[in-house]
Amino acid sequence: MPGQNRPYIFICSVSDDLYGASPERSGASLPTPGGGKWLPVDSLKEIGDAAEGFDPSAADEDIANWGCHWFTSHGPCNIYWGPQGPPKHRAKS
């Protein structure tokens, strides 16, 4: 992972204010139920003021539980997994 164990950051191609974090360089763990793609960025600096919404503690927790993290410029947000819901084998009980 880049930096000091920080996840890779991505921009959602179909949203004006949705970002993802993944421990995987490819971003494969980020769900795409609404279509679109996750576009990699080199660092949080690349997303400008939206980086203020990135909460490292929330990202670490979501990545531990779900393998990825979503956030907006306003902070963490719920991950939309699609109609089937989250992958049950990864969720902590």
pLDDT of 51 > 70? The answer is yes
Classify residue 40: in a domain, yes or no.
yes
Strand partners, 23: none
- Percent of all residues in the chain with a pLDDT value above 70, rounded to a whole number: 88
**Which pLDDT belongs to residue 68?**
93
- Tell whether 54 is covered by a domain: yes
pLDDT given at position 1: 41
Q: Does 93 map to a domain?
A: no
Q: Is position 83 within any domain? A: no
In a domain? residue 91: no
Which residue segment(s) compose the domain that 71 sits in?
8-76
Identify whether 1 is part of a domain.
no
Q: What percent of the chain has pLDDT over 90?
A: 65
Q: How far lies 75's CA from each of 33, 45, 89, 90, 92, in Å?
A: 21, 16, 26, 23, 22
Position 17 in a domain: yes
What phi and psi values does residue 21 have, to the nearest 5 degrees?
-130, 140
- Provide the pLDDT for residue 64: 92
Domain count, the chain: 1
Structure tokens at 86: 């989250």
Work out the mean pLDDT of the chain and round it to a whole number.
87
pLDDT in tens, 54-76: 999 999 999 998 999 999 999 99
User: Mean per-residue pLDDT for 8-17?
Assistant: 94
Structural domain contains residue 39: yes
Q: How many CB atoms lie within 10 A of CB 74?
A: 10
Higher pLDDT, 36 or 54: 54
